[in-house]
Structure 1
Amino acid sequence: MTDHVTHEYPRAFKAATKVDPLILATALDHIARTAQRSRSQTRRLRWIEQRALIALSGREYSDLDLDLPKNAGPDTHEKLQKRMSFHIAIKHQTREALVQLLDVCERMDLEDQNQRPTEEEYQSALAAARALKEPT
């Protein structure tokens, strides 16, 4: 009868006993290089890179060795960037609607009837401006 031992990291134990170490080392090296070459260097990517490099050097991992990634919250860089992009887009839409409405209003007083806006142009500009008005 054989005793069955449950390891803390069963996937890692299985890989350590059944996978060629060169394959594991190559994978760790690839992970480190990929994280290092990322266009955006986040704390999490730097941590992944360093974690892989520590394993490749044969050292035991310790949380004290690295600046651990923060837990994702409402104010992560990516979420703030997305919110900022949204507000910038709204600003541009508002400006475009205002410019269109001002153009229509300024052309209303022109003497040449052909240069004046049509009722359709006026209503369209007004509708675009109203659509951006925040609810009260």
Structure 2
Amino acid sequence: MKKFILMLLLAVSSASVWAQTPKVVISDKDGWHKIGETVVSLDKETDKIIIVGANRFASVKIKVTEAPIRLESFDIFFDNNQTKNVKIGQEIKHEGETAVVDLGGEKNITKVEFYYHTIGDDKSKKAHVELWGLKTNPNK
């Protein structure tokens, strides 16, 4: 019985890890790049984007379309095990975006986690949230 429960827990945890498909960034050109996107709904209050590939960025920003959200904060995870918490605490209207967040030079981002509240009661409207990153390529 213990073996069955252990296998069940392992299967459930594996399913949740693989449910989030990593976003692969291919381009290393200077300028703004869409790193990844997610659709948020009324039944969740957190979301994440996992990033692999050409993941060095100097700045990031969040764009919101389709429906507004109240973005409380987001955490940026770097490959050196450091994390940057960005407090927002404001409503981002659809077709809106946050201010640019400077990372203090290009850094490898591995994941970004969003903490938000959906606005409104219409469950058919889901906010489309995009993560954008700025590449400056200072070493070229």
TM-score by length of 1: 0.21
More strand, by proportion: 2
Name the larger-Rg structure: 1
TM-score by length of 2: 0.21
More helix, by proportion: 1
Higher RCO (CA < 8 A, seq sep 6+):
2
